[in-house]
Amino acid sequence: MRRGLLVSLIFMSSLLGGAPLSAASFSLTSQEIQAAIRFGQRAIVNEKFDREWNLTSASGETLKVVTPFFRLAQAARNAAFKSGTLKQREIDSLLKEHQGRLVLWANLRGPREDFARWYQPVLVVQGKAEIKPDFVQNERTALRQADGHFLSRSVYAFPANNLGGKGRVTLLVRDSDDKEVARFVVDLSAMR
């Protein structure tokens, strides 16, 4: 009886060992750092390893949510492709750059090459005021697509000190006339 219970517990813990963390974390513990590195190293056989961090809008625009966990996993995956591992100074550098902030990589579509130049993003947290970014990089010369539209790759970084890792936030991107041009709802509880 006891042996069967022990075997069951070991089996269940091995199943749950690879389960996602409960929510996005903007300040990783040493255990979460190791989990991110292991996840990235194992992900070299999975082309869609980053699917939990990707969102697509109804109009086909995409958003990648770059949490500290994702960025560390991505770097570990890239190192594993080269049959290497991350050095401690690389880990420290990545964590210094990404801890305490939420970075969003947005691929936006528009009619002209410079359509995204003056876009301004804000992050709306339920029940709180809009959060302004501390970094905005809109692509000034968007790429022409086969359908004649242009694709701009923009990077937005927001301070995460007012964000809970379990809530939903909405990225609003507005043009220079304050008209909303893109909206993404990000469920932070669904990603690490």
Contact between residue 158 and residue 101 where contact means Cβ atoms under 8 Å apart? yes
Report CA-CA distances (Å) from 34 to 53, 135, 167, 174. Answer: 19, 28, 24, 38
| Strand pairing class (135-137; 143-144) | unpaired
Q: Where are the chain's structural domains?
A: 21-190
pLDDT single digits (tens) 74-88: 999 999 989 989 999
Superfamily name with CATH number, domain 21-190? Immunoglobulins (2.60.40.10)
pLDDT at 23: 66
pLDDT at 22: 54
Using 70 as the pLDDT threshold, list the residues of the chain that sit under it: 1-23, 165
Pairwise CA distance, residues 31 & 161, whole Å: 21
Q: Can you spell out the DSSP letters for 90-111?
A: HHHHHHHHHTTEEEEEEEEEES
| Residue with the two structure tokens 């990589």 | 105
The amino acid that residue 12 corresponds to is: M
> pTM for the complete prediction?
0.80
Contact between residue 186 and residue 139 where contact means Cβ atoms under 8 Å apart? no
Pairwise CA distance, residues 136 & 148, whole Å: 26
- Tokens matching residue 49: 């390893």
Contact between residue 155 and residue 161 where contact means Cβ atoms under 8 Å apart? no
Contact between residue 191 and residue 70 where contact means Cβ atoms under 8 Å apart? yes
- How much of the chain is in helix, strand and coil states, percent to nearest 5? 30, 30, 40
Collapsed DSSP state (helix, strand, coil) of residue 1? coil
Contact between residue 67 and residue 192 where contact means Cβ atoms under 8 Å apart? yes
